A and B are shown apart, each in its own frame.
Chain A
Amino acid sequence: MKISWKEYQKDIADDHYYYARSCIRQNFFPGSEAAFLHILGNDLGRDILDDARHTSCTGIGYHSDIVPLDTIMTVVARQFALMTEAGYENFVSSCITSFGIYSEALEMWHEFPEQEEKAHEYLYKATGREFKKPKNLAHTSDIIFHHRHQIAAQAKHKLINVQTGEPLKVVDHIGCHYAKIFPKVGVGGSEFPYVLSGMVEAWGGECIDYPERRHCCGFGFRNYLVQANRGCPVANSKKKLESMAPYKPDFIVANCPGCTMFLDRWQYAISEMEGTLYGQDGHGIPVLTYEEMAGLVLGYDPWDLGMQLHQVAVEPLLDKMGIEYDPGAKYLGKNGKFIGKPEDSLIGCYTK
C-alpha cells in the first residue's frame, strides 16, 4: 500500500484550462496568481481562461458553517456552468479550500445523484444556467507539477545554495484539503503527497522529512476568523515550526494560500510575543507559494512575484540562490511610485 500510494499519479489535463481564483491568494499573494497565468501562457504556451464572471466558491463561509450545503453546491454548479458556456472542460482551482469543495461536490453528486439533480434545479431556478461537470479537476499546483520538467528545462536558477553547491533544504506543506478529504484527487494521496516535493526535486532541492510534516497549519476557519479563538491556530503552527526548525530548512513551500499566509504571519506573531526566530542566523524561515518558487527558478524578479508582501524577509533565500534583486525597489508601487514602506519588525528586517 505504501508503495502504491507513493507512486500514485492523478490524471492532470495538459492544456485548455478554466481558471478559478482564490479569495485568500488574491488578497495576500496577488503576484502569485499573476505569475501562474504568465508561466502557463508565456513560458509554457498553454491556453488558460481568466473569466471575470466567477465568484468566490464561498468555501470559507461553508467551513465556518454559515453557508449551507445546498448553497455552496449551487455556487459550484454556477462556476461549472460558466466553464461549460466558455467551451472548457478542464477546471483549475487556485485554492486548496475551493479544490476540496469542488472535489466534494463531484464526489457527493456521484454517491448521491439526487443531490446533483437538486443542484441543477437550484441553479436553473436562480440563474437560468445549466452545467456539465468538468472532465478534469486540478489544483493549480497540480498544473505546475505536471509541467515541472519543462520548467526545469527553462530554469535560470536551481534550488541550490550557490555558496556551498548543496541542494536547498525545503519543507513542503501540503494543506489538509488537498488530499485528506479525497486521497485519490491528490498526487501521492493523503499519506505521500508528492505534488510539491516533485517540484522541489525536479528543480534541484531536497525535501525535509520531519515529525509534524503532515500536521495541519492550524487555520481551522472559525478558529482563526474569530479573534477569541486565535490561540488554537498559532499553537498548531508553533508545533510545526518547532518540529521543522532542527532540520534547518532554507524555506517552506506551501500548497494552500491560507497555510502560506499563516506559516508566515504566525512566525511574526511568535517573534513579537517571545522573540523566537525559527530560521538560521537570526532570521525567520521564508514561506513561499509554489508559483513564487517556480517564478524564481524561471528567473522572475522577486518583487514582480510579490515576495515583498511576506512578513518574513525573503532576502536570505534570494542570496543563497544567487538571485540579484534591487533592495530599493522592494516596496515601490505601480510604475516605481514611492508609497512608503512597512514599519520595521524583528522578523521583517533584513540587512546584508
Chain B
Amino acid sequence: MGKYFDMLMEDVRMKEGLTACMNCGICTGVCPSAEFYNYDPRQIVDTVQTQDDRAIEELLKSDTIWYCGECMSCRPRCPRGNTPAYIIQSLRSLSQRLGFFVYSEKGRQQLALKRTIGQNILNTGYCLMPKLIDPELHPEQGPVWKWVYEHDRDVFERFGDNYRQEGPGAVRKIDDQSMAELHNILKVTGCDDFFDNLEKCSEQKAIEMGFNGADEEYFRYIYTTDNGSHQ
C-alpha cells in the first residue's frame, strides 16, 4: 500500500466509506456539485482505490477535493456501499494536516472558514450569531436580514429570546464554565493544533503569493476570488 493510502485508512470514515468502486458513476449523477462544477466524485474514489502515492498526492493538492458540499446524496445511492463524501472528508483532513491545501484556490479557502466559523465557535460557542452575518459579506440575504442585523436585540427579544444573556433561550450567551469546557475539548482533541497549522501554512503561502502574510487583504482575496477555471 502507498503511504498516503495508509494515512487515509487511519481515518474511520475511510473504513466506512470505501469498499470497492465499480465506476458506475451514480454518485456523480446525483451530485449537486457535479451539476455546477467540472467535477466527478467517481474519479476521486477510483483514484484513491489505486493506492498510488503520486496520484493521491496530486489529488490532495488539487481543487477537485474541495468541490463536494457534503450533502451525502451519494451515500444511499451507491450500489456497492461506498460513501464518496466520507472519502472526501478524509482526503480534506489529510490535505490540511500535510499542508497540501494551500496548493489549490479552493483549498486555500480553508483559512477563511477557520477565521469565520472556527472563530465563531471559539468566541461564542455557536457556528453563527446574528452580528456575525454581515450584510456586506452576505448581500444575498436581502433587506429583511439587513433590518434584523441592524435591530438585532429588538427583533430577537420580540420572540422572547434571551438575547446574549446567560440562562436558557435562543441566541443566549453561553456561560463561562460551558465555554471553558468547549475550549478544553478543542484543545484535548487536537482542534487547536489543527487551527494553528491552517494559520501557519496559510501565512507561508500568502508571503509566497506576494501578500504581507495571511492578513485581512489575503483573507478577502481567498474569500472572494474565483479564477474561472472550476466549471
Which residues on A are within 8 Å of B, measured CB to CB?
A: 21, 23-24, 26-27, 30-31, 33-34, 50-56, 58-61, 63-71, 74-75, 78, 100, 108, 111-112, 115, 122-123, 125-127, 129, 176-177, 180-181, 183, 190-191, 215-216, 218-223, 225-236, 239, 265-266, 268-269, 272, 304, 306, 308-311, 331-334, 337, 339-345, 348
Q: Which residues of B contact A306 (CB under 8 A)?
A: 159
Do B70 and A221 have beta carbons less than 8 Å apart? yes
B216, CB-defined interface residue at 8 Å: no
Given contacts A26-B161, A64-B113, contact A127 B133 (CB under 8 A): no
Interface size of B in residues (CB-CB distance below 8 Å): 90
For this complex, 28 residue pairs linking A to B, each with C-beta atoms less than 8 Å apart, are A27-B171, A50-B168, A53-B178, A55-B178, A56-B121, A61-B113, A61-B118, A75-B185, A125-B184, A177-B71, A177-B72, A180-B72, A191-B76, A219-B69, A220-B32, A221-B70, A223-B33, A226-B109, A226-B113, A236-B35, A266-B140, A268-B142, A272-B142, A310-B144, A332-B158, A339-B155, A342-B144, A348-B144
Q: Please, what's the 1-or-0 string for B127-154, where 1 marks a CB less than 8 Å from any CB in chain A?
A: 1111001000100111111111001001
Do A65 and B110 have beta carbons less than 8 Å apart? yes
Do B142 and A69 have beta carbons less than 8 Å apart? no
Which residue among A31, A123, A232, A266 has the maximum number of chain B CB atoms within 10 Å of its CB? A232
Select one of A70, A215, A229, A334 contacting B157, CB under 8 A.
A334
Do A228 and B113 have beta carbons less than 8 Å apart? no
Given contacts A66-B114, A225-B113, A239-B35, contact A268 B140 (CB under 8 A): yes
Given contacts A225-B113, A226-B223, A333-B154, contact A30 B16 (CB under 8 A): no
**Bound complex: CA of A268 vs CA of B106, how far in Å?**
27
Chain B min CB distance to A105 (Å): 12
Q: Which 4 A-B pairs have the closest CB atoms?
A: A220-B69, A333-B154, A342-B147, A60-B127
Chain B min CB distance to A6 (Å): 15
Chain A min CB distance to B175 (Å): 7
Which residue among B141, B159, B195 has the maximum number of chain A CB atoms within 10 Å of its CB? B159
B79, CB-defined interface residue at 8 Å: no
Do A340 and B151 have beta carbons less than 8 Å apart? yes
Do B36 and A235 have beta carbons less than 8 Å apart? yes
Do B127 and A58 have beta carbons less than 8 Å apart? yes
Select one of B11, B110, B142, B158 contacting A333, CB under 8 A.
B158
8 A Cβ contacts from B17-43 to A: 32-33, 35-37
**Bound complex: CA of A223 vs CA of B109, how far in Å?**
10
Do A345 and B142 have beta carbons less than 8 Å apart? yes
Given contacts A66-B117, A111-B16, A216-B69, contact A222 B171 (CB under 8 A): no
8 A Cβ contacts from B35-73 to A: 35-37, 66-73
Do A30 and B161 have beta carbons less than 8 Å apart? yes
Closest to B88 in A: A65
B189, CB-defined interface residue at 8 Å: yes
Q: Which residues of A contact B133 (CB under 8 A)?
A: 27
Apart from A69-B12, A127-B185, A228-B226: 18 A-B pairs, beta carbons within 8 A:
A50-B168, A52-B169, A56-B127, A61-B117, A64-B117, A71-B190, A78-B182, A112-B12, A126-B185, A191-B76, A219-B69, A222-B113, A227-B224, A230-B140, A235-B36, A265-B145, A309-B148, A339-B154
Do A126 and B187 have beta carbons less than 8 Å apart? yes
Select one of B11, B159, B160, B185 contacting A78, CB under 8 A.
B185
Q: Which residues of A contact B166 (CB under 8 A)?
A: 52
Closest to B105 in A: A228
Which residue among B16, B127, B178, B179 has the maximum number of chain A CB atoms within 10 Å of its CB? B127
Chain A min CB distance to B181 (Å): 4
Q: Which residues of A contact B225 (CB under 8 A)?
A: 228
Closest to A50 in B: B168
8 A Cβ contacts from B178-208 to A: 178-179, 181-182, 184-191, 194-195, 198
B170, CB-defined interface residue at 8 Å: yes
Do A66 and B198 have beta carbons less than 8 Å apart? yes
Do A222 and B109 have beta carbons less than 8 Å apart? yes
**Bound complex: CA of A178 vs CA of B141, how far in Å?**
25
